[in-house]
Amino acid sequence: MAYGATNSAQVAGNRLDPAALQHCHWRSLHGLASGADALERFLAHAGFDRAPWLAVAFGGGIAAWFGLANSWQWLAFLAFCAALGGVGLFLLRADGEFPFLRQALVIVPLMAAAGCLVVWGKSELVGKEPIERPMVTRFAARVLDREERPAERVVRLMLAMREPGTGRPLRIRVNLPLEKDRADLAVGAEVRLRARLMPPAPPSLPGGYNFARTAWFAGISATGSVLGPVEILKPARSGGWLEQVQSSLSRHVREKLPGSSGSIAAALASGDRGAIGEADGQAMRDAGLAHLLSISGLHVSAVVAGVYLLTIRLLALWPWLALRVRLPLAASGAGASAGIFYTLLTGAEVPTVRSCIGAVLVLAALALGRSPLSLRLLAVAAFFVMLFWPESIAGPSFQMSFAAVLVIVALNESATVKALFAPREEGWIARILRHVVSLLLTGIGIELAIMPIGLFHFHRAGVYGAFANILAIPLTTLVTMPLIALALVLDQAGAGAPAWWLVGLSIDGMLALAHWVSSRPGAVMTLPAMGMGSMALCLCGGLWFALWQGRVRWLGLVPAALGAVSLALLRPPDILITGDGRHVAITGDGPGELLVLRASRSSFVRENLAELAGIRGEGPDGGQRLLAEWPGAQCSRDFCVLVLRKGGRDWRLLMARSEDAVPERALAAACDRADIVIADRWLPRSCQPAVLKADRRLLSRSGGLAIDLETGRIRSVAQDQGEHGWWRPATSTRPRVFMTPAQ
């Protein structure tokens, strides 16, 4: 009997002779068909929708490329996906018997392979080798882009130049002090300048921000700062009108509305966030309102919806046109055009492009009479972004924006939520209360979805964002943005002052709300750097819950709960060592206590150490305390010695403080008495501590280290980088960092 006949007979009712099933061949086929039947029923009843899962598979392939270490592992992943698709084709016939299972076993792995190939291909095409070492040089270059950042007192320039010595074309980013800026330093100008250049910096500690990866996909080979004046060799040609409009619009708004209010108004009007002060920006982030400062879905939707409603209302006043033209179609075209122009005007960042694509798809659905909110539309927008910007999947912007929209769509498609918030005959008070509850429920869902993402990338997250957004979102979309548009229109007649005054009042109210919420007890949750395991559990649980239907979706709460428990049990590392070995932080016995080896003038270093340790430092020093001032440490000019009681034993640490020469015999004797030695220079081989020697020789290959003395686990930056193009250790061999048993 042929396999097809056997399979059909079993599916029809398993009427085969039981004696025949005693043979292993028939038993295997019977079990295979029964399993396929069960999986097919599960996929059908759980609402398997091909488009969202294909987008998830495509993103999973991109994530696999980032997570796997080298080309051999990437090829193995591609081979596995191809083999899985081949097995699906071989076992499942194309006669429509198992349509859902066939799609799951064949198309999904092929989409995962496609995602891996897309990001691998883009990495090879756009990634540029960084410069070998820091340098100070004078060179000629052409200005590719400029970004004014008044809050930091710099202008950020993107330049095209030739590498000194090799002539290799480079794309670099430098900061020019604001007082040295010139009116003719525009996009397209050819300049000569002197600058200090450095390779794009990898994470200084495990779990830190990976600027080297961002620079790799942007084609940036070096960053630095301008030293001295800039000489204009050739002025910029006419052109770049959109950049000029954006810059002049931002300056105009800041002139009409000075201070923090004007900076935020400029961000809403032109996407220029460079003038927003750090204190206000941090308050907005801690209050869960940072999304209001980044041009994304909320702002694009407000512009598109405003133009759509205004157009359809105005056109409806012309009866002749209303009877002959489909007004929703005309209004959709006007809204789409406004959304595209606003996206280009505000810089066309990836979140803005994603939001614009989603808004255009919603308009198309409205024009065609389809549902404007669906998982399929979201999947199309996500696929488009991942196809052209696959690297964005590793960043917080992509993850947070799509997680938030996914929550909104999932709630919109939930039968329970639909019944709860469906229109009905009721008084205006009840209607307002239902809208408030709707906003609160949506806000809580969004906060729960994006909180693990914020903790993973920023190691802190606002807790009261859902409540703050109930006031801030309507205030921004219904008051502030329309008033800014009205003020800009009235400025053409010189009558915009009253509108700008109202804009200032609305933004001051939002800032007051942000500072008040962020200052409440427990408003900010901080956690040390987490591993990918906890993040993966939360993401998988959220996707499962959002993409399935029926009771099976509740199974997604299991991995999400496991991820939440792992976060709750997360403890900070005992020792943090930056990649250059200069900065060492030790978590003390008291809550929020962080001991540092050296005081740093860089706020970035202080904040990075505090964030990765999961400590919310207060004050100008970030709540950190110098190790030399701690009674438990013994510090001389050259070294600090510290004994830590962790894991049921004493750990003796020896840390170098100066770069002065030390007698080798004395150093070797000190190393013999230590368990861990840390130095920002090369130490001689005679220095042999009992457990670990973290000197420049090791750190140049491993990057920064996070050490947990309780478990004996060491996490290094190199372990998370693999052999991707942006990671260039001092040697091609990836170091294995481990703790040897104490002698």
Supply the pLDDT for residue 63.
94
| 470 to 299, 373, 437, 465, 475: CA distances (angstroms) | 16, 21, 9, 9, 9
Check: CB of residue 139 under 8 Å from CB of residue 171: no
Q: What residues make up the domain containing 298?
A: 247-526
Among positive and negative, which fits the CA dihedral 546, 550, 556, 557?
Answer: positive
pLDDT at 1 over 50: no
What is the average pLDDT score of the chain? 81
Shared domain check, 439 and 295: yes
Supply the pLDDT for residue 277.
77
pLDDT at 460 over 50: yes
**Could you give the CA distance from residue 216 to residue 391 in angstroms, rounded to a whole number?**
10
Among positive and negative, which fits the CA dihedral 87, 90, 91, 95?
Answer: positive
pLDDT at 737 over 70: no
**Could you give the CA distance from residue 282 to residue 287 in angstroms, rounded to a whole number?**
8
Rounded percentage of the chain residues whose pLDDT exceeds 70: 86
* Residue 743 belongs to some domain of the structure: no
Shared domain check, 707 and 592: yes
* Residue 257 belongs to some domain of the structure: yes
Using the 3D structure, point to which of 189, 212, 239 is the last residue of a domain.
239
**Could you give the CA distance from residue 217 to residue 78 in angstroms, rounded to a whole number?**
22
* Residue 730 belongs to some domain of the structure: no
- Output the pTM of the full model: 0.83
Supply the pLDDT for residue 239.
57
Tokens coding 396: 């917080």
Rounded percentage of the chain residues whose pLDDT exceeds 90: 21
More confident residue, 678 or 239: 678
Residues 6 or more apart whose CB falls under 8 angstroms from that of 613 comprise 528, 572, 573, 576, 585, 587, 594
pLDDT at 23 over 60: no
Torsions phi, psi of 555, nearest 5? Answer: -65, -20
**Could you give the CA distance from residue 453 to residue 160 in angstroms, rounded to a whole number?**
35
**Could you give the CA distance from residue 89 to residue 102 in angstroms, rounded to a whole number?**
7
More confident residue, 101 or 444: 444
Shared domain check, 331 and 305: yes
CB atoms within 10 A of CB 90: 8
Supply the pLDDT for residue 142.
93
* Residue 606 belongs to some domain of the structure: yes
Shared domain check, 610 and 652: yes
**Could you give the CA distance from residue 711 to residue 714 in angstroms, rounded to a whole number?**
9
Supply the pLDDT for residue 371.
66
Shared domain check, 161 and 98: no
Shared domain check, 484 and 369: yes
Supply the pLDDT for residue 240.
61
Shared domain check, 34 and 114: yes
* Residue 736 belongs to some domain of the structure: no
Mean pLDDT of 433-442: 79
Shared domain check, 204 and 68: no
pLDDT at 125 over 90: yes
Amino acid at 496: G
Q: Domain count of the chain?
A: 5
pLDDT at 30 over 50: no
Mean pLDDT of 636-665: 87
**Could you give the CA distance from residue 559 to residue 267 in angstroms, rounded to a whole number?**
38
CATH number (domain holding residue 187): 2.40.50.140
Q: Is 548 exposed, middle or buried (0-12, 13-18, 19+ CB in 10 A)?
A: buried
pLDDT at 5 over 60: no
Mean pLDDT of 649-660: 88
Using the 3D structure, point to which of 84, 105, 126 is the last residue of a domain.
126
Mean pLDDT of 549-559: 84
* Residue 740 belongs to some domain of the structure: no
Residue 654's pLDDT band, with cuts at 50, 70 and 90, is very high
Shared domain check, 579 and 564: no
Q: DSSP letter at 128?
A: -
* Residue 739 belongs to some domain of the structure: no
**Could you give the CA distance from residue 1 to residue 7 in angstroms, rounded to a whole number?**
10
Mean pLDDT of 444-451: 85
Task: Label each residue of 414-450 as H, E or C.
Answer: CHHHHHHHCCCCCCHHHHHHHHHHHHHHHHHHHHHHH
- Beta bridge partners, 158, equal 145, 173
Mean pLDDT of 467-473: 84
| pLDDT tens column, 598-630 | 877 767 777 788 888 877 655 545 567 888 888
| pLDDT tens column, 181-213 | 887 888 888 999 999 999 998 998 998 889 999
Residues 6 or more apart whose CB falls under 8 angstroms from that of 413 comprise 373, 374, 375
Shared domain check, 363 and 299: yes
Which range of 90-99, 545-554, 599-608 scores highest in mean pLDDT? It is 545-554
**Could you give the CA distance from residue 149 to residue 276 in angstroms, rounded to a whole number?**
9
Shared domain check, 208 and 121: no
Supply the pLDDT for residue 13.
39
Single out the residue of 260, 288, 292, 290 nearest to residue 276, CA to CA. 260
Using the 3D structure, point to which of 468, 496, 526 is the last residue of a domain.
526
Shared domain check, 373 and 488: yes
Q: DSSP letter at 370?
A: -
Supply the pLDDT for residue 311.
87
* Residue 414 belongs to some domain of the structure: yes
More confident residue, 598 or 559: 559
Tokens coding 246: 């954006």
Rounded to the nearest 10 degrees, what angle do helices 532-547 and 428-458 cross at?
150
- Beta bridge partners, 160, equal 142, 171
